[in-house]
Amino acid sequence: MPSDDPAQSLAAVRDAITRAAKLAGRKDTATLIAISKTKSADEIAPLLDIGQRVFGENRVQEAEAKWPALRARYPDIQLHLVGQLQSRKAEDAVALFDAIHSVDRPSLVAALAKAMEKLGKRPACFLQVNIGDEPQKGGCAVADLPALLAEAQGAGLPVAGLMAVPPADVEAAPYFALLAKLARDHGVAGLSMGMSADYETAVTLGATHVRVGSALFGPRLGARA
Ligand SMILES: *Cc1c(COP(=O)(O)O)cnc(C)c1O
């Protein structure tokens, strides 16, 4: 559970990540992306004050409203988009974000490539895989990953890794292991996996980026995921 003190929550999550990486015999650790969706600038500020610089949002419009002002105060912020992205918002996303974790279809690859060309800015791209084959979830089918990867590389996107959100309410480890295997098989380095409930497991299975919201900020009241 997150404590009321964001500094304490942040320290606890960072410690847990370090411990999990050590336990797994890793020489490196994972980047903590603090997921600040639905949280106000006032709620985010304490984490900035104590040194957290990597944040994630799931909606372009919400991020556009919050982050330019925060960035003016903390220019070294790194902002990641972790939510579904409509192709018509690709240019806005490229303009604002340093990384995009939801690249999941050829039409979006094309829109992002065009936006990057136009803006001369190339955010790191993670290809999202629908690892549990759930109809309501974003991400490409496991079987379509090789074609999507070829498409993204062919279009010149800087492919940094794979991303997935495993099915809720079941053991996540097998899904993390599958995503790690897919990344190995396809020669991509990054693995964006693990949320508040399971980020330590994800780190032991090789996550390079964990996306942690409620364990840092407390629950999102009545919020959409
Ligand atoms: C909201 C969200 C998270 C963070 O979820 P918590 O359970 O609050 O840690 C991580 N990844 C994605 C894609 C999200 O939408």
Ligand 1 pocket, residue 102 CB under 6 Å? no
Q: 39 CB under 6 A from ligand 1?
A: no
What pLDDT is recorded for position 220?
Answer: 81
The pLDDT tens digits along the chain (225 residues) read 556 788 899 999 999 999 999 999 999 999 999 999 999 999 999 999 999 999 999 999 999 999 999 999 999 999 999 999 999 999 999 999 999 999 999 999 999 999 999 999 999 999 999 999 999 999 999 999 999 999 999 999 999 999 999 999 999 999 999 999 999 999 999 999 999 999 999 999 999 999 999 999 988 875 544
pTM of the model: 0.96
Closest residue (by CA) to atom 1 of ligand 1?
A: 225
Q: Which atom of ligand 1 is nearest to the CA of 163?
A: 13
pLDDT score at 6: 84
Which domains, from first to last, does the chain contain?
Answer: 6-216 (3.20.20.10)
For residue 155, the Cα-to-chain-centroid distance in whole angstroms is 22
Ligand 1 near 66 CB (within 6 A): no
Instruction: With CA atoms as reference, report the closest residue to 17 among 179, 207, 166.
Output: 207
Find the 118 Cα to ligand 1 centroid distance in Å.
Answer: 30
- pLDDT confidence of residue 3: 61
Residue 33 Cβ inside 6 Å of ligand 1? The answer reads no
Q: Is 58 in the pocket of ligand 1 (CB under 6 A)?
A: yes
